[in-house]
């Protein structure tokens, strides 16, 4: 008999095609869960780096299945409330339940306020903040009906502090924390916990891409990720420029498991000490 902690449970993960979302999906599969991964699988013209593709989504399905788990891929846009309601309904119908939501979908973008692109602002807020709202709203009735649920949202170290030049991203991630704390109070009577993680720089395509590397090292003609690590490491306290996605997945799994039954409304920093620079 298997004794994995998520045997019989279902985890729904937005932004699941690659990066942290893929890492979360694999972590849950290894612990016995069936997984549904939701991703838009198309680029946004306002965002300067390529987003996940349908091939990425298919690859994650194959990786989850290799771990022995069942994986349902869904192409949907977290910005669209109706699409997220449909996605949640599909997961509940096909897999029979939704025990866990990881509202992970996110994009990086922003400009100095004096040179801001309104379209980029709208897209970043729509994915990073409205997308979390739409995802939680879609699964909440299902979880309420079962009197059980675990929701983990993804904020950022920039949701606890700030740096210049990325106002849209900072605003969206601060908003995720406020939304998480409010939703935790709304859903507590129904056996549902809602917590956030606040990652530092994670080695995913959202950080490790040519556009961001050039942005942080404008002094070099052809900068590499090794060049960018000089700046990225300054955002952390510990001497580590990039974190492994698996480090974040371990915390997501903990917050979704039985040991975290009485943790709700919390923000867990996994930011190589960046949180040491901000108030509690």
The C-alpha atoms of residue 255 and residue 249 are separated, in whole angstroms, by 10
The C-alpha atoms of residue 93 and residue 167 are separated, in whole angstroms, by 39
Q: Which single residue is written with the structure tokens 């390529």? A: 50
How far CA 175 is from CA of 41, 99, 149, 151, in Å, comes to 24, 24, 22, 16
Complete DSSP assignment for 86-153: HHHHHHHHHHS---EEEE---------GGG--HHHHHHHHIIIIIHHHHHHHHHHHHHHHHT-EEEEE
How far CA 86 is from CA of 10, 135, 162, 261, in Å, comes to 17, 11, 35, 28
Q: Which of 133, 169, 170, 175 is catalytic?
A: 169
Edge to edge, the sheet with strand 192-199 lists 71-75, 34-39, 10-14, 100-103, 149-154, 192-199, 267-270
Is 148 an annotated catalytic residue? no
The C-alpha atoms of residue 266 and residue 252 are separated, in whole angstroms, by 12
Name, in order, each residue with C-beta under 8 angstroms of 154's C-beta and a sequence gap of 6 or more.
Answer: 20, 102, 103, 104, 106, 132, 176, 196, 197, 199
* Counts for the chain of helices (H) and strands (E), in that order: 9, 7
Which positions are annotated as active-site residues? 169
């Amino acid at each position: 008999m298997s004794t994995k902690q998520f045997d019989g449970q279902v985890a729904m993960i937005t932004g699941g095609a690659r990066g942290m979302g893929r890492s979360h999906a694999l972590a849950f599969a290894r612990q016995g869960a069936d997984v549904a991964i939701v991703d838009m699988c198309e680029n946004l013209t306002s965002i300067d780096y390529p987003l996940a593709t349908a091939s990425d989504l298919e690859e994650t399905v194959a990786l989850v299945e290799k771990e022995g788990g069942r994986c349902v891929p869904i192409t949907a846009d977290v910005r669209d409330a109706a699409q997220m309601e449909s996605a949640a309904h599909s997961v509940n119908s096909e897999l029979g339940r939704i025990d866990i939501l990881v509202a992970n979908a996110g994009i990086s973008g922003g400009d100095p306020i004096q040179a801001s692109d309104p379209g980029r602002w709208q897209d970043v807020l729509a994915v990073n903040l409205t997308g979390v709202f739409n995802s939680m709203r879609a699964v909440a009735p299902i979880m309420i009906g079962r009197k059980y649920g675990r929701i983990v949202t993804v904020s950022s170290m920039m949701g606890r502090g700030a740096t210049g030049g990325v106002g849209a991203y900072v605003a969206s991630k601060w908003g995720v924390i406020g939304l998480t704390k409010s939703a935790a109070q709304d859903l507590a009577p129904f056996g549902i916990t809602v917590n956030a993680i606040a990652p530092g720089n994670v080695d995913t395509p959202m950080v490790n891409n040519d556009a961001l590397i050039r942005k942080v090292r404008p002094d070099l003609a052809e900068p590499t990720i090794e060049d960018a690590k000089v700046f990225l490491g300054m955002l952390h306290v510990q001497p580590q420029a990039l974190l492994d996605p698996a480090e974040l997945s371990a915390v997501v799994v903990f917050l979704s498991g039985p040991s975290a039954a009485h943790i709700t409304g919390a923000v867990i920093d996994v930011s190589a000490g960046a949180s040491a620079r901000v108030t509690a």
